[in-house]
């Protein structure tokens, strides 16, 4: 089975990267900076969190799960998933740690737009189910 071009929708994915430091923020959520030798440096809290790569645009077929019936694909009960994304095999390199933006805009934690705000993503990939010509990604909705 192939994915029809007219059924594809624009989305973004982000891959999990190394741990990043957590920065102190003000009441509005902006990162606090100090100036050292004329250079602005963000103030670290000493904690770390998982970081994500810059989001990459892609096109895929997404079907939102109504939750009213149980559908079994590849022996997995998909009634607990919120959406299923279908793409051609080897089209995108996402795995169970990746994030997907479908209806929301990508958000950033800093004004330079270099630190992705993972809380703005719509879905996280819960399972990857490959077949001969396509891959189904079972997605879980992120609560905001």
Strands 16-23 and 9-14: unpaired
pLDDT tens track for 72-96 = 555 555 567 789 999 999 999 999 9
Three-state secondary-structure class, residue 43: coil
pLDDT tens track for 11-37 = 999 999 988 888 898 888 788 889 999
Record the pTM.
Answer: 0.76
pLDDT for 2 equals 66
pLDDT for 49 equals 86
pLDDT tens track for 104-137 = 999 988 777 888 888 999 999 999 999 888 999 9
Distance, CA of 80 to CA of 65 (rounded, Å):
9
Strands 33-36 and 99-101: unpaired
């Amino acid at each position: 089975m192939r994915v029809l071009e007219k059924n594809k929708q624009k989305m973004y994915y982000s891959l999990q990267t190394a741990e990043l430091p957590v920065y102190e923020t003000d009441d509005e959520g902006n990162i606090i900076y100090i100036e050292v030798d004329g250079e602005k440096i963000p103030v670290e809290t000493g904690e770390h969190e998982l970081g994500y790569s810059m989001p990459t645009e892609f096109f895929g077929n997404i079907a939102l799960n109504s939750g009213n019936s149980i559908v079994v694909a590849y022996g997995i009960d998909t009634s607990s998933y919120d959406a299923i994304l279908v793409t051609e095999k080897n089209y995108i390199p996402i795995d169970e740690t990746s994030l997907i933006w479908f209806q929301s805009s990508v958000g950033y934690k800093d004004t330079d737009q270099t630190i992705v705000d993972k809380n703005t993503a719509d879905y996280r990939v819960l399972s990857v189910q490959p077949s001969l010509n396509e891959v189904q990604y079972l997605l879980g909705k992120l609560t905001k």
